[in-house]
Structure 1
Amino acid sequence: MIHTTLRHPTADGVRRASRKIARILPYTPLLPVEINGVSLWAKAECLQPVGAFKIRGGWHRLSDLSDDVKTRGVVGVSSGNHAQGVAWAARKLGIQATIVMPSDAPRIKMDRVREMGADIVTYERLSENREEIAQALSEKTGATYVHAFGDPWVIEGQGSAGIEIAQQMEERIGQMPSRLVVCCGGGGLTAGLALACPDAEIVPVEPEGWDDVTRSLSSGEIQSVGDNPPPTACDALQTLATYPMNFDILKARSCVGVTVTEAEVRDAQRFAFARLRLVLEPGGAVALAAALAGKVTLDDRTAILLTGGNVDAEKFAKVLTSQD
């Protein structure tokens, strides 16, 4: 892999990323919310300029590139949120970005990536290897491959959300978070939060059938989703397997993951819209879904991450009007 295995992510790196990000982006809101009789907190990363937390890792990674490396461009792989994070940072820094995206990625995500000036190369999610496509593009052009979760800079950048949560919670209740409930795909955000908040329990949440991180942590070895994973509305969380870099951080913290059903995800989307006035995409709602379904222990120092809000309007309208 190009430019991703040079070092390991660190807590100091997360703090440095947080300082860099604070210079260009305001903190996202930490909203009070009551769930099952418990008052706790929801971190609205869906309100980032690209509609997701991925802007953090994108900015930390690209802004650390040397001027010479920047001239060769960057390549990313994403169903849409990491793509937007990389494209946003690339545009701001004057870097050419190419994103490898699945052909079935939500149209809204593809449109916004193009709006930010990035080129898109599509692939078939279940029959083509996106890593091989991205690697080939990187090797051909000399562009830096910015992996969506298996990159130390990306992990550190995502972890900056935990620095914000800790500061916001200390200001409001004088205490640090006891638990962070996190939407999990490849484990970039969960690993970053584990570094940012060493005293908090980190709970990765995944959609059923795409629970490679949960099963990996349970077995003690990296597991993949298998050959025939079920369909899911959580396009942002369709990762086939985590990376050793991410797994080692989470394993060292003895993290235990949980899974949620598609119906529970829709319930969470409706809850966020009705109670928090927020639009969440399915993948950005799984942590909230786990809390609402009683699958996670909650207390007044628990923070739930609402990680993305990039959802097609028609699909979201159907969720709001469905009765399941």
Structure 2
Amino acid sequence: MDQGAGGVHELLCIVEQIALSNNLSLDRLTTPEARSILGSYRVVVASTGNLGYSIGVVGRAFGLVAEIHMSADAKAWKKDRLRDIGADVVEHACDYSETIARARVAAENRRDTMFVDDEGSRHLLTGYAVAADELARQLDARGVRVDAETPLVVYLPCGVGGAPGGITYGLKRRFGDAVATVFVEPVASPCVMVALASGLASPPSVYQFGCDNGTIADGLAVPRASALMLDAVGEAIDAVVAVTDSAMLDWVRTAWNRSALRLEPSAAAAFAAHAPFNLAAKHEPEWPRLDRATHLFWATGGSKVPDPEFTALLSPDYADAEG
């Protein structure tokens, strides 16, 4: 399931705000007059790929100027994909947290500029929460019951935390204690894990705990978790599992070989967390029906990975080649 819903929701809120401030009819936003006005506005966001792409696609569709700031972890093909749709890509030789800070500064005091804050946007968080309704409909269509006797365990790849946090909020509102959400992070970038374990009021950086934030999972390479997300749903997170790059790569290959499912490493993280979560949780008294649970893996992307890049991921020598 895609994580673009939060970005689309945020962008639509921005378009609505611009339209209302310019007396534009909301049902005529694609007219030449409306696009002329919308084209004088710029939306700025930091991203390693998926969020920037959703902002770029929808923003450009309405005629907005889309400025995407990308960290050193972002893949070259994701930058090219954004340029192909007419977005302005600003590259930074730093990690994602610093890229967000630089993008925020770049947007300050600029006329007709809107900043999408991946660390602190409630519009993003609530946009992601809508995914719970979509999931509920899919489960109903398949006759999957979710209750105390047959719980649901959802594995969510986690970067800064906005997407899994919003999804957790939506799932808990709908299913309550019958659902457990498991945040999945790279061992080099366990920003939510260290934030919850530290007990500090402000989320610490993984660097403070000896982690280097170096991972093949570019979408999850985040050294500091969202304070907004932790404040909103931190106590509702049931578990956090850190997985290795090699485990993610193994699941990229397994998903392709068994099911022709095309995943990038960030998306494969959810599958890699299944075994360690079950090992840790099987003796927990609050989960007596874990053996009857439905396990759901949130795959966040991969269908757009260029063929040469994906073929390389399937090679058993890829990890060694990457160093």
Fold shared by both chains (TM-score > 0.5): yes
Match of 1:274 among 253, 257, 270: 257
RMSD, matched Cα? 2.4
User: Are 1:264 and 2:247 matched, yes or no?
Assistant: yes
For normalisation by structure 1, the TM-score amounts to: 0.77
Q: Which moved more, 1:151-160 or 1:136-145?
A: 136-145
Aligned residue identity for 1:136: V
Match of 1:304 among 289, 294, 297: 297
SS of 2:298's equivalent? Answer: strand
2:206 — aligned with what? 225
Give distance in 2, aligned partners of 1:220 and 1:103. Answer: 29
2:53 — aligned with what? 84
1:173 — aligned with what? 143
CA contact (8 A) 2:95 2:222 kept: no
User: Larger relative contact order (C-alpha < 8 A, sep ≥ 6)?
Assistant: 1
Match of 1:134 among 89, 93, 103: 103
Residue 126 of structure 1 deviates from its aligned partner by 4.6
2:156 — aligned with what? 182
Give distance in 1, aligned partners of 2:215 and 2:76. Answer: 16
Question: Which portions of structure 1, spanning 4 or more consecutive aligned residues, are displaced by more than 6 angstroms?
Answer: none
1:110 — aligned with what? 79
Deviation string, structure 1 residues 281-310 (Cα, Å, up to 9, x no partner): 11111111112x443466542211001115
2:186 — aligned with what? 207
Distance change >3 Å, CA 289–CA 106, structure 1 → 2: same
Deviation string, structure 1 residues 56-84 (Cα, Å, up to 9, x no partner): 11210111121248542210101111110
User: Are 1:295 and 2:277 matched, yes or no?
Assistant: yes
User: Are 1:318 and 2:301 matched, yes or no?
Assistant: no
CA radius of gyration, larger in: 2
Q: Which moved more, 1:61-70 or 1:90-99?
A: 61-70
SS of 2:184's equivalent? Answer: strand
Residue 152 of structure 1 deviates from its aligned partner by 0.8
For normalisation by structure 2, the TM-score amounts to: 0.77
* Alignment size in residue pairs: 272
Deviation string, structure 1 residues 125-153 (Cα, Å, up to 9, x no partner): 25993233212321242311112343111
Deviation string, structure 1 residues 229-256 (Cα, Å, up to 9, x no partner): 1521011111121122101233221432
CA contact (8 A) 1:74 1:144 kept: yes
Aligned residue identity for 1:306: A
SS of 2:248's equivalent? Answer: helix
Deviation string, structure 1 residues 82-138 (Cα, Å, up to 9, x no partner): 110110110222211101112452122111111221101111025993233212321
Q: Which moved more, 1:216-225 or 1:71-80?
A: 216-225
Aligned residue identity for 1:314: P
5 Å matches for 1:29-48?
Answer: 45=1
Distance change >3 Å, CA 246–CA 116, structure 1 → 2: same
Distance change >3 Å, CA 251–CA 136, structure 1 → 2: closer
Aligned residue identity for 1:130: T
Unaligned runs of at least 5 residues, structure 2: 23-37, 282-289
CA contact (8 A) 1:269 1:282 kept: yes
Distance change >3 Å, CA 195–CA 127, structure 1 → 2: closer
Give distance in 2, aligned partners of 1:126 and 1:189. Answer: 19
Give distance in 1, aligned partners of 2:97 and 2:228. Answer: 24
Deviation string, structure 1 residues 256-277 (Cα, Å, up to 9, x no partner): 2011011110111012112231
Distance change >3 Å, CA 132–CA 194, structure 1 → 2: closer
Distance change >3 Å, CA 219–CA 137, structure 1 → 2: closer
Aligned residue identity for 1:322: P
2:286 — aligned with what? none
Match of 2:132 among 162, 165, 189: 162
Residue 174 of structure 1 deviates from its aligned partner by 4.3
Distance change >3 Å, CA 317–CA 80, structure 1 → 2: same
